[in-house]
């Protein structure tokens, strides 16, 4: 099976609508074709995003405005004539139709807006991960420019604000360079940059919810690191890793190997304040 044939069947394959022979042929093609596998991952990502979209609430005042309008029309009608009695339900039907139309427009707009933002975020993060190993500062600029990154004064963070637990130092000589606040479509999170004397760079992101979509269609492997279930992603000769640390999630970019990830998990778990959210 070639790519053109496989792509024509991807939607039906994702929806499990293919016959067994056709599904097996598509599955075999996906094993050897990264481009088609990436397209299938996009189906899966969009489906997950659409499932999370909530129906928007009708704006305040819409119902009262419709009721007031209907009341005014009712007062204008000749109430005891046959024509007036026939017109009343017709106006109610028109008002209901207009309300349904407005609701569908709102739902469509928010659905498109949410999907568009999250798909763009996955693309931005893919660029960031691709650049990080060879050009960590250029990679950093991608996130800062896209999501309004600004430096945080950790001493000035007030009560109730999201304050990162990132320590001043990490194992293997890494020292904190700067912490940034990022306004991403998924959440507001922090990113702390660390460097050691050898010039190696680590990025540590802290966020309240798991963000697997950051890894896009890259292969994610789940493994136990220091007793903690961890998502591992290969980035050329480095690793990205994400795990739950207390009530938060931590994601580190730029680890050399699984041993370093385990060391970081152990160290950061011991450093976190037990009452922090």
CA 221 to chain centre: 19
Query: Which residues lie closer than 8 Å to 247 by C-beta, 6 or more apart?
Result: 208, 276, 277
Q: What's the pLDDT band for 47 if we cut at 50, 70, 90? A: low
Cβ pair 111, 174 in contact under 8 A: no
Asked if pLDDT for residue 48 goes beyond 70, the answer is: no
pLDDT at residue 195, rounded to an integer: 97
Residue 218 or 275, more confident: 218
Pick the CATH number of 148-271 from 3.30.450.20, 2.40.420.20, 3.30.200.100, 3.40.50.970: 3.30.200.100
Tell me whether residue 1 is exposed, middle or buried, using C-beta atoms within 10 angstroms of its C-beta: 0 to 12, 13 to 18, 19 or more: middle
Q: What's the pLDDT band for 90 if we cut at 50, 70, 90? A: low
pLDDT at residue 250, rounded to an integer: 95
Phi, psi of 50 (to 5 degrees): -65, -35
pLDDT at residue 179, rounded to an integer: 93
Summarised one tens digit per residue, pLDDT across range 214-262 is 888 888 999 999 889 999 999 889 999 999 998 899 999 999 999 999 9
Residue 211 or 36, more confident: 211
Domain with CATH 3.30.200.100 in the chain: 148-271
Q: What's the pLDDT band for 156 if we cut at 50, 70, 90? A: confident
Please name which of 221, 219, 223, 186 lies closest in space to residue 205, comparing C-alpha atoms: 186
Distance of alpha carbon 62 from alpha carbon 104, whole angstroms: 14
* Of the listed ranges 117-126, 140-149, 178-187, 258-267, the one predicted with least confidence: 117-126
| pLDDT average, residue stretch 147-172 | 83
- Is the alpha carbon torsion for 18, 22, 25, 29 positive or negative? negative
Q: Answer yes or no: pTM beyond 0.75.
A: no
């Amino acid at each position: 099976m070639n790519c053109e044939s496989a792509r024509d069947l991807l939607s039906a394959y994702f929806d499990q609508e293919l016959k067994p022979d056709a599904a097996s042929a598509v599955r075999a093609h996906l094993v050897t074709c990264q481009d088609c596998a990436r397209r299938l991952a996009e189906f899966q990502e969009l489906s997950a995003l659409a499932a999370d979209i909530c129906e928007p609430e009708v704006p305040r005042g819409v119902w009262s405005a419709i009721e007031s309008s209907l009341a005014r029309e009712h007062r204008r009608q000749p109430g005891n004539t046959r024509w007036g009695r026939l017109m009343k339900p017709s106006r109610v039907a028109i008002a209901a139709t207009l309300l349904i139309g407005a609701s569908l427009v709102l739902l469509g707009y928010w659905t498109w807006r949410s999907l568009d933002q999250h798909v763009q975020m996955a693309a931005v993060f893919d660029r960031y991960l691709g650049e990080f190993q060879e050009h960590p500062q250029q990679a950093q600029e991608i996130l800062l420019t896209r999501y309004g990154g600004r430096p945080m004064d950790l001493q000035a963070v007030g009560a109730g604000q999201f304050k990162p637990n990132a320590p001043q130092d990490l194992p293997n000589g890494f020292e904190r360079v700067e912490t940034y606040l990022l306004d991403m479509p998924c959440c507001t999170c922090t990113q702390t940059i660390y460097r050691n004397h050898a010039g190696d760079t680590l990025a540590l992101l802290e966020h309240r919810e798991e963000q697997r979509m950051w890894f896009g269609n890259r292969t994610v492997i789940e493994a136990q690191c220091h007793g903690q279930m961890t998502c591992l992603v290969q980035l050329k000769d480095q690793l990205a890793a994400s795990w739950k640390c207390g009530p938060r999630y931590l994601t580190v970019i730029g680890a050399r190997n699984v041993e370093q990830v385990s060391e970081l998990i152990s160290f950061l778990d011991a450093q976190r304040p037990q009452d922090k959210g």
